[in-house]
Amino acid sequence: MDRRIIYLVFFILVVIAHLITLPTRVTPSTVTKRLYEMVESLPADKAVLVDSDWGAGIKAESEGQMRALLHHAMRRGLKIVILSWTHNLEGQKFGYDVTADVAKDYGYRYGEDWCVLAPLTKASGQELAGLAKDIHGTLSEDTNGVPLDDAERLPMMQHIRTIHDIGLVFQVAYGHEGTAWLGFIQGVYGTNVATAVSAISSSTAYSYVESGQFCGMLAGAPGAAEYEELLGLPKESRFARKPVSVLSLAIGYILLMIVIGNAAYWGSTWGTKR
Amino acid sequence: MNARRAILVGILVLVAVGIATLVLLERFPQYDPRRVQPESMKPLDRVGAWVGALCVIAIFSFIYRENPFYRTFEHILLGVSIGFGTALIIRQVLYEQWWEPMRLGIEAIVYGRSSPEHIWDACLIFSGFFGLLWYFQYSKKYLWLSRITIGVTAGAAAGLGIKRVILQDVPQITSTFKNIMIHPGLAPHLNEAARWAASAKSFLFLIIVCCVLYYFFFSFRRDTPLAKAPADMGRFFLMISFGAFFGNTFMTRVVILIDRVQFLLHDWLRVIHTW
């Protein structure tokens, strides 16, 4: 069979799955529950630092993950600081847009409850070491060019100066960039670090959760859907639900193709062997 | 496929998509964008959606076969990425983090209002010179100058790397030291069945770690069945983990496709307006 027919059927299935409502049952995994419990137990005076290191290429998974955690942090009334990188300005833009969007639901105000820092330049982890000791010294302004010391426009940042003011570092990225946080922040200061990675990278990230270095993890779009389930978000706020329901159908189709392909292969070699 | 045929196919695809849009809007009038989200009908959003959709279709056309339509957009993507990256480094790193602080620092010193911070900022000029030494890579005569920068950079990276490995990877090793028998003193909150389950999990973990490590141990011949069995088991466990890797890889790829289909249906065609 021409493989393009398989692709075409697959594409049509994905389109149809978007137009109909499929039954979806999501059961939260242990790693997702751990993250949920960690955010739930954070002291009210501690902030959440979200490392927004994602872009258009992995938007499908990362956006849902970031939205889910922001919902939880904002529901708890925690201050949110978004960190981005000079090598990935998409992360800055997406981080800003997503946080601004979720903030509308909770009445969060920029500068008072959340802010986006100016992008940081990667320097083999040295930048994280500097950030831990002095946030205002390492990054002197926010993304709009407002000095972090400006008490009028960024009042929340007057109370967030070192890593000790951060209760949780939540890194959203395609892969294992989060491990730099383990080496230079979690390993040194014992700060809680959690990660949200693509499903493709989650296999290797599990060992860091198992060892207790990551306090929790959201693995791909299913991880985001599990977190939304734990939060009990209303249907219209569940960003990851639809992709996961479509994913179930797509995986079912691929499994069917694997079975048919193998059966056809065995069938074609059966006579030869005999 | 020649260029003319590719253009024809591209036009036909666009016409087909246009007709499909009209049919779908006719079939589902409630999803007419003018009725659903009138405030979001910004002209530039629509232009962006059309450009995005064109790019998605061009890249997806590769599934049919290699064609100039795909090749054109692949080159556009590469060009845009390189241009964007270069502009980014000049604007966000060289200008904002090096040139501006250095200029302000030097100005402050020249006009006699320097502070320790200004002096420190002015010293960035040395880091600029130091960084420029890299470019002596292109000179056979002065190549040795670039080695100074390379040496310092490599030394700093090695130092930071060692620190990172110790703090990041050593906990991975220590976390393999698990109690095989979980007695009530270790986990008083667990009932007996849960303790047995935890013990079995620890035991299985230990067996897998040992077998996989043994598989990569090549210091003696594995002639006897007893010497071969753990290595075979290690390979078996590795195969299971590779299967998990592959499954997760597939899942990410499919979610990316789902995202693009959502973009086409939601942002471009506006056939669906929520999920």
Q: Which structural domain, as residue segments, surrounds residue A117?
A: 25-249
Subunit contact A125:B258, Cβ cutoff 8 A: no
Q: Does residue A2 lie in a domain region?
A: no
Let me know if residue A273 belongs to a domain: no
The CATH number of residue A137's host domain is 3.40.50
Is residue B162 less than 8 Å (CB to CB) from chain A? Answer: no
Smallest Cα distance from B275 to chain A, Å: 6
Query: For residue B274, what are its two tokens?
Result: 């929520």
Nearest CB to B167; choose among A187, A207, A246: A187
- Compare CB distances from B164 to A119, A125, A239 and report the shortest one's residue: A125
| Interface contact flag, B167 A182, Cβ < 8 Å | yes
**CB-based contact A199 B255, cutoff 8 Å:** yes
Is A33 within 8 Å of A151 (Cβ atoms)?
no
B93 vs A86: CB contact, 8 Å cut-off?
A: yes
Domain presence at residue A1: no
The minimum CA-CA distance between B21 and chain A, rounded to whole Å, is 13
Contact of A46 with A167, CB cutoff 8 Å: yes
pTM of the model: 0.83
pLDDT under 50: residue ranges of chain A: none
> What is the reported pLDDT for B38?
41
- The verdict on a CB contact (< 8 Å) between A184 and B167 is yes
Separation between Cα atoms, residue B171 and residue A255, nearest integer Å: 38
Per-residue pLDDT tens for A160-187? Answer: 999 999 999 999 998 876 678 998 999 9
- Residue A167: C-alpha distances to residues A40, A183, A191, B255 (Å): 11, 17, 7, 31
DSSP letter string over A78-131?
A: --EEEE-BTTBHHHHHHHHHHHHHHHHHHT--BTTTEEEBPPBPP-TTHHHHHH
Q: Identify whether the C-beta of residue B6 lies closer than 8 Å to the C-beta of residue B73.
A: no
In a domain, A108, yes or no: yes
In a domain, A58, yes or no: yes
Chain-chain contact of B168 with A187 (C-beta, under 8 angstroms): yes
ipTM: 0.86
Whether A15 is covered by a domain: the verdict is no
Instruction: State how far the Cα of B246 lies from the Cα of B233, in Å rounded to an integer.
Output: 20
Measured between CA atoms, the residue of chain B closest to residue A253 is B254
Look over chain A and give the mean of its residue pLDDT values, rounded to a whole number: 91
Label residue B23 by pLDDT band (50, 70, 90): low
Predicted confidence at residue A273, as pLDDT, reads: 58
Token representation of residue B175: 């976390």
Among B60, B72, B69, which residue's Cα sits nearest to residue B6? B69
Domain assignments of chain B as residue spans, ordered by start: 3-82, 93-174, 176-275
Instruction: Determine, yes or no, domain membership for A181.
Output: yes
pLDDT confidence band for B72 (50 / 70 / 90): very high
Asked if B77 is an interface residue toward chain A (Cβ–Cβ < 8 A), one would say no
B97 falls in which pLDDT band (50, 70, 90)?
confident
Q: What pLDDT score does B58 carry?
A: 94
Provide, as residue numbers in chain A, all residues whose Cβ is less than 8 Å from the Cβ of B157: 124
Chain A residues with CB inside 8 Å of B271's CB?
Answer: 18-19
Name which of A124, A127, A195 to mutate to probe chain B: the one with the most chain B Cβ atoms within 10 A of its Cβ. A124
Write the residue in B161, B258, B272 that is nearest to A243 by C-beta.
Answer: B258
